């Protein structure tokens, strides 16, 4: 690696509008990286991308997208390939619902300002294709980021993440476009993330800092790959969210690890905390011991305790299914499976209800086509068969959890 990294000067004649955008220029290993910070829902960001591509020449264009998001952007109909049965079987329904909630919030802002979400990324991709330039996808998959974020924090902070996602769907307050543009002001942005980090350093690390390092490693890897083919790149435009500009700029200057192993390490899922499973096992064990103790007192006492367990967990799961708008047969499946949860700890109760829901209300082509628009408004989650199935999975599990605590309280109370 060439020793000191250098900051390059912006070209003369840049318009005031482009000059107002957050831009960093840094040279490493003979490659100049032009980092253009954007707001993901902003007309000014779209114009800045187009103008910089018109004014300057580049050998490649990098965008803050991963492969799935890129395919989704280039082919909006890709949701038709969504296999709900596989998603439910693999226990990924909650993750898919979280992804939809994130995209829904961005689309709602886009709807407010009359601009497509990710329009600045699309402008960069279209500009690169028009100039026959390589397109580098440098971001980490959002599913990995969410999992690493959730596994990095405790129970209360996890509830905060879930509450924030739910709140973003319910709130209808408009956001002033000037506030979005202010996100590009380095000082304000820096202070915002500084406060965020102070409140939850693990979240900041997973959502921001790790991705800064990951995207930097991707830029370096792509540059090395181009050089190895005999067609080295000299100037690369990287279109990234403004919140990552400072971190990536610093990482380009300081990152010393080999890019491949670093990416692999940042894409691995850390082991989940054993405590949720231990607590769940302990709760079931305490309830089982209580029921056994009641049987020891008399068969009638034990039978009553078993009925309390069956009814509380079953009814809790069924109520969750109904709350999600599920079919009565889906609720029945949850009612039957919920009491058996201790004997099948690796199978979520919601998987049974959601599986029946898919079988009864198979998604139509229209559901796939309207999914992105339906989930913008919270009522649309119950209207669309795909999102409603995801809600059935989540709400049935929540209902079963509530029923477990109610059953445990009543059984232990009868023991005492």
Does residue 94 surpass a pLDDT of 80?
no
Does residue 173 surpass a pLDDT of 60?
no
> Does residue 155 share a domain with residue 68?
yes
For position 283, what pLDDT does the model report?
Answer: 82
126-141 as b/e, with b when 16 or more CB fall inside 10 Å? ebbeeeebbebbbbbe
> Does residue 238 share a domain with residue 184?
yes
Highest mean pLDDT among 2-6, 25-29, 358-362: 25-29
> Does residue 405 share a domain with residue 282?
yes
Does residue 60 surpass a pLDDT of 50?
yes
Torsion of CA 91, 94, 95, 99, to 10 degrees: 150
Compute the mean pLDDT over every residue in the chain, rounded to the nearest whole number. Answer: 81
Q: How confident is the model at residue 193 (pLDDT cuts 50, 70, 90)?
A: very low
Does residue 217 surpass a pLDDT of 90?
yes
* Helix H or strand E encompassing 93: helix 93-113
- Residue 282 inside a domain? The answer is yes
Does residue 145 surpass a pLDDT of 80?
yes
- Residue 392 inside a domain? The answer is yes
Does residue 180 surpass a pLDDT of 60?
no
Contact 386, 302 (CB under 8 A): no
> Does residue 312 share a domain with residue 255?
no
- Residue 1 inside a domain? The answer is no
- Entry pTM: 0.71
Sequence-separated (6 or more) residues with CB below 8 Å from residue 261? none
Highest mean pLDDT among 52-66, 105-119, 269-283, 355-369: 52-66
Q: 59 or 204: which carries more pLDDT confidence?
A: 59
| Percent of the chain's residues with pLDDT above 90 | 42
> Does residue 406 share a domain with residue 368?
yes
Q: 118 or 290: which carries more pLDDT confidence?
A: 290
> Does residue 283 share a domain with residue 262?
no
- Residue 287 inside a domain? The answer is yes
> Does residue 295 share a domain with residue 263?
no
- Choose one of 267, 286, 306: the last residue of a domain: 267
For position 272, what pLDDT does the model report?
Answer: 67
For position 354, what pLDDT does the model report?
Answer: 92
Sequence-separated (6 or more) residues with CB below 8 Å from residue 381? 169, 374, 375, 387, 388, 390, 391
Q: How confident is the model at residue 151 (pLDDT cuts 50, 70, 90)?
A: confident
Q: 339 or 12: which carries more pLDDT confidence?
A: 339
> Does residue 102 share a domain with residue 203?
yes
Range with lowest mean pLDDT among 27-31, 105-109, 171-175, 365-369: 171-175
- Residue 177 inside a domain? The answer is yes
For position 165, what pLDDT does the model report?
Answer: 60
For position 303, what pLDDT does the model report?
Answer: 93
Does residue 232 surpass a pLDDT of 50?
yes
Per-residue pLDDT tens for 328-356? Answer: 999 999 999 999 988 777 678 999 999 99
Does residue 56 surpass a pLDDT of 50?
yes
- Choose one of 241, 267, 293: the last residue of a domain: 267
Q: How far is 347 from 138, CA to CA, in rounded Å?
A: 35
Does residue 191 surpass a pLDDT of 80?
no
Q: How confident is the model at residue 1 (pLDDT cuts 50, 70, 90)?
A: very low
> Does residue 255 share a domain with residue 319?
no
- Choose one of 203, 235, 267: the last residue of a domain: 267
Q: How confident is the model at residue 192 (pLDDT cuts 50, 70, 90)?
A: very low
Query: Which string of DSSP letters, residue by residue, matches 275-312?
Result: HHHHHHHHHHHHHHHHHHHHHHH-HHHHHHHHHHHHHH
Number of domains in the chain: 2
Sequence-separated (6 or more) residues with CB below 8 Å from residue 303? none
> Does residue 105 share a domain with residue 88?
yes
Q: Which residues constitute the domain of residue 334? A: 275-415
């Amino acid at each position: 690696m060439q020793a000191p990294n250098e900051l390059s000067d912006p070209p003369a004649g840049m318009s005031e509008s482009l000059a107002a955008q957050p831009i960093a220029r840094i040279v490493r290993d003979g490659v100049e990286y032009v980092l253009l910070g954007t707001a993901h829902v902003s007309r000014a960001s779209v114009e800045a991308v187009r103008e910089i591509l018109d004014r300057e020449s580049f050998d490649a264009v990098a965008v803050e997208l991963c492969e799935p998001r890129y395919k989704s952007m280039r082919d909006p109909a890709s949701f038709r390939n969504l296999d709900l049965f596989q998603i439910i079987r693999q226990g990924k329904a909650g993750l898919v619902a979280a992804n939809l909630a994130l995209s829904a919030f961005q689309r709602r802002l886009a709807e407010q300002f009359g601009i497509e979400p990710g329009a600045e990324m699309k402008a960069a991709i279209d500009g690169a294709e028009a100039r026959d330039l390589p397109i580098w996808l440098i971001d980490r998959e959002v599913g990995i980021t969410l999992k690493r974020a959730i596994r990095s924090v405790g129970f209360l902070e996890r509830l905060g993440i879930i509450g924030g996602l739910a709140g973003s769907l319910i709130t209808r307050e408009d956001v002033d476009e000037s506030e979005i543009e202010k996100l590009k002001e380095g000082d304000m942005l820096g202070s915002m993330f500084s406060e965020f980090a102070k409140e939850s350093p693990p979240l900041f690390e997973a959502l921001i800092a790790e991705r800064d390092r990951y995207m930097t490693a991707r830029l370096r890897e792509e540059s090395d790959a181009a050089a190895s083919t005999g067609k080295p790149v000299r100037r690369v435009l990287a279109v990234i969210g403004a919140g990552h500009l400072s971190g990536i700029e610093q990482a380009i200057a300081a990152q010393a690890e080999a890019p491949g192993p670093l990416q692999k390490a940042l894409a691995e899922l850390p082991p989940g905390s054993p405590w949720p499973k231990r607590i769940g096992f302990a709760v079931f064990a305490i309830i089982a011991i209580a029921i056994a103790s009641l049987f020891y007192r008399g068969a009638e006492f034990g039978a009553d305790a078993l009925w309390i367990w069956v009814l509380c967990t079953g009814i809790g799961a069924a109520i969750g299914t109904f709350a999600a708008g599920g079919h009565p047969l889906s609720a029945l499946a949850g009612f039957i499976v919920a009491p058996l949860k201790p004997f099948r700890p690796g199978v979520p109760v919601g998987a049974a209800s959601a599986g029946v829901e898919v079988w009864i209300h198979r998604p139509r082509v229209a559901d796939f086509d309207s999914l992105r628009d339906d989930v913008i408004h919270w009522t649309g989650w119950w209207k669309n068969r795909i999102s409603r199935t995801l809600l059935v999975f989540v709400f049935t599990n929540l209902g079963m959890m509530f029923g477990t605590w109610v059953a445990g309280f009543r059984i232990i109370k009868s023991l005492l």
